[in-house]
Amino acid sequence: MAAQTSLNTLIEAIAGAVVDAQDRIEQHQMSHLSDFFDEDNRPKSVVIRMPSLHPQAEEGDEDLYRAPILPLVSTNVLRIKDVEITFDADIGPLVEGDPTADDHPPQPGWKGNAPASRPHLRVDPTSGGGDRKSGAVHVVLRVEGSEPTDGAARLMNHLSQTQGVFKTFKPGD
């Protein structure tokens, strides 16, 4: 058992990896949001020619209708729903003292209380059990669609309210 680490540290590392993965999903979604705005941060829009519905419009009159693109397309808001990780590890000795002392030195400036010293378990995640390959890990990560945040919903609602007819004309004029 050459590569022993504390079980607590291993679980914290796995949880940290899940948090980092969710952060990457959110960062990707934020960078995609910029696709809907021009270089001056104005919403990109599409102009559509439609037969005029104005009561004083004549036969053949058309309306130019402007609609911001963002509220017209579906936004894929994803979040990690759950994670399942299985692996085999050899159990090492039960060690007295700070379980993070070997793996994480205390952070300077930390003002919290020092954790109580208690026994912790050491494991070797690099060794497999039974017929599994050494260090074999099985990861299942499920994502789900979620509702847009309140801010995003308000932005899309406001942009939806700005769409509409901005000019009526007779083609050829």
Decide if 106 is inside a domain.
Answer: no
Decide if 124 is inside a domain.
Answer: yes
Decide if 52 is inside a domain.
Answer: yes
Decide if 114 is inside a domain.
Answer: no
Decide if 44 is inside a domain.
Answer: yes
Q: Tens digits of per-residue pLDDT, 103-141?
A: 555 556 666 665 556 666 677 776 655 565 555 667 788
Q: Tens digits of per-residue pLDDT, 10-61?
A: 888 888 888 999 999 889 888 888 899 999 999 999 999 999 988 888 999 9
What secondary structure, in 3-state letters, does the chain show?
CCCCEEHHHHHHHHHHHHHHHHHHHHHHHHHHHHHHECCCCCECEEEEEEECCCCCCCCCCEEEEEEECHHHCCCCCEEEEEEEEEECCEEEEEECCCCCCCCCCCCCCCCCCCCCCCCEEEEECCCCCCCCCCCCEEEEEEEEECCCCHHHHHHHHHHHHHCEEEEEECCCC
What confidence score (pLDDT) does residue 1 get? 43
Decide if 109 is inside a domain.
Answer: no
Please say if the pLDDT value at position 153 is more than 50.
yes
Decide if 23 is inside a domain.
Answer: yes
Q: Tens digits of per-residue pLDDT, 2-14?
A: 567 888 888 888 8
Number of independent structural domains in the chain: 1
Residue 11 lies in domain:
5-98+119-169
Decide if 76 is inside a domain.
Answer: yes
